[in-house]
C-alpha cells in the first residue's frame, strides 16, 4: 500500500464516534470500519458513496482533526492540508475579515502571509460590502463563498473539498469550478467528496468508493463510477 509518491496513506482505518446516551453511557457509532487507500501527489481523488458512508469522516482523518481508532493514517511530514466544508465559519460572532485572519492562523499560515492575501480572498469571495459584518449575519451561500475563498487563496498542499462546489449562485459556481481546475492544472493535490458524479468524472483521476465505512473499490474513475451506478440501480 505504501507507494513512494503517496502524500496521505490510509491502512485499515477504523473510526468510531461516541454518541451520548445517558449520564455516563456512550453508544459507539462506527463511521469507518476498514478503509485503505492512498492519495498520490498531484492527483485529483474523488470519494463517492451513499449518505452515511463515511466520506466526511475520511476528510477529517486526512486533515488530522480526527485520529483513527485502529489502523493507520500516515501523512508526509510538514504537509499543509486544509478542509473546505460548507459550514466554514470559525467564529460566527466575528467579522468576515477576522475570520479570514483566524482561519489562516489556525491553518498555520503566518499573519504577514495572510494579510498579503487578504484583498485577494475578499475579492474572490465577492463579499466586499459585507466583510466587516459578523458572519452570523451571512447567508449560507455567503459563508460558503468565504470558506471556499480562504481555502483557495491560502494555498495548502492538499485541498480537501466537501460538497463545497455547489456554493453560491450559478455564476459563482462557474468561477469556483474554474479556480479549482486552475489549481488542479498547476499540480495541486485535491480530494473531492461529491454526490455529483458528472463533476467527479470530469475532474478526478481516480476514485475511492466507500460503503458502510468499508472501501469497496479504488481505481480508475470511469470503471468505478460505472459499478457504483450499477450498484445504486440494483438497490433501487
Q: Interface residues with other proteins (CB under 8 A)? A: 15-20, 23-24, 26, 29, 60, 63-67, 75, 79-83, 85, 87-91, 93-95, 98, 101-102, 105-108, 110-111, 134, 156
Is residue 35 classed as helix, strand or coil in its secondary structure? strand
Cβ proximity to other proteins: between 14 and 175 the closer is 14
In whole angstroms, give the CA distance from residue 219 to residue 62.
Answer: 19
Taking the least distance from each CB to other proteins, the nearer of 93 and 198 is: 93
Q: How far is the CB of 11 from other proteins (least distance, A)?
A: 18
- Cα–Cα distance list, 115 to 80, 111, 197 (Å): 19, 6, 37
Q: How far is the CB of 62 from other proteins (least distance, A)?
A: 9
Least distance to other proteins, CB of residue 92, Å:
8
- Based on CB atoms, which residue is closest to other proteins, 161 or 224? 161
Of 90 and 118, which CB lies nearer to other proteins in the complex structure? Answer: 90
Cell numbers for 129, please give them. Answer: 460590502
Amino acid at each position: 500500500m505504501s507507494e513512494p509518491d503517496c502524500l496521505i496513506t490510509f491502512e485499515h482505518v477504523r473510526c468510531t464516534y461516541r454518541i451520548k446516551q445517558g449520564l455516563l453511557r456512550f453508544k459507539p457509532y462506527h463511521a469507518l470500519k476498514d478503509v485503505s487507500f492512498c492519495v498520490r501527489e498531484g492527483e485529483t481523488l474523488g470519494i463517492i458513496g451513499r449518505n452515511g458512508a463515511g466520506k466526511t469522516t475520511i476528510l477529517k482523518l486526512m486533515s488530522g482533526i480526527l485520529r483513527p481508532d485502529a489502523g493507520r493514517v500516515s501523512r508526509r511530514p510538514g504537509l499543509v492540508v486544509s478542509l473546505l466544508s460548507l459550514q466554514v465559519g470559525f467564529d460566527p460572532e466575528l467579522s468576515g475579515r477576522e475570520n479570514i485572519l483566524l482561519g489562516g492562523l489556525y491553518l498555520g499560515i503566518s499573519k504577514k502571509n495572510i494579510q498579503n492575501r487578504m484583498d485577494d480572498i475578499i475579492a474572490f469571495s465577492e463579499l466586499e460590502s459585507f466583510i466587516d459584518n459578523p458572519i452570523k449575519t451571512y447567508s449560507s451561500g455567503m459563508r460558503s463563498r468565504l470558506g471556499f475563498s480562504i481555502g483557495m487563496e491560502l494555498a495548502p498542499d492538499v485541498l480537501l473539498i466537501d460538497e463545497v462546489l455547489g456554493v453560491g449562485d450559478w455564476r459563482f459556481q462557474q468561477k469556483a469550478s474554474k479556480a479549482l481546475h486552475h489549481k488542479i492544472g498547476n499540480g495541486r493535490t485535491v480530494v473531492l467528496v461529491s454526490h455529483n458524479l458528472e463533476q467527479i468524472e470530469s475532474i478526478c483521476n481516480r476514485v475511492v468508493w466507500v460503503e458502510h465505512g468499508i472501501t469497496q473499490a479504488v481505481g480508475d474513475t470511469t470503471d468505478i463510477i460505472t459499478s457504483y451506478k450499477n450498484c445504486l440501480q440494483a438497490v433501487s
